[in-house]
Amino acid sequence: MKNLTITPELLKQAKQAVNSAKFSATAERKKEAVDMLMKLAVAVQNLEEVKTAEPNEPKAKKPKAKKAKAKKAKASKKKKAIHDNGRLARKARVTRNSNQRLDDLATKQSLDKLFDNAMALRY
């Protein structure tokens, strides 16, 4: 068991064993699940540890831009047109794919036809 490596197959088998023991518990299934988990625990203990990098000294911060320039840039921007209800004057249009456009056209044509038929019956 010392040379046991963690593989996707091993993880899958352990998961299956645990699930079978969890949802339809028998002594055999419980034992199999415990064995698989023990194999995984041994495999994790045998993993080589990686040395952590020592934190480097923080670098000197660059000076930030002056705030006066930012204020001028904000002042030069135009105000956006606003409707009475507080929303922006323009809204982005929702793009529709070709099938949706065909459905819209068919719906419009059928409604026009129904309206024309209703008007013909009325007079």
At residue 92 the predicted structure's pLDDT band, cuts being 50, 70 and 90, is low
Q: Domain spans of the chain?
A: 8-45
Note the pTM of the prediction, 2 decimals. 0.40
- What is the chain's Cα-based Rg? 35
3-state secondary structure string, the chain?
CCCCCCCHHHHHHHHHHHHHHHHCCCHHHHHHHHHHHHHHHHHHHCCCCCCCCCCCCCCCCCCCCCHHHHHHHHHHCCCCCECCCCCECCCCCCCCCHHHHHHHHHHHHHHHHHHHHHHHHHC
Res 66: pLDDT: 72
Q: Could you report the per-residue pLDDT of 7-28, keeping only the tens digit for each?
A: 888 889 999 999 999 999 899 9
At residue 50 the predicted structure's pLDDT band, cuts being 50, 70 and 90, is confident
Between 31 and 5, name the one with better pLDDT. Answer: 31
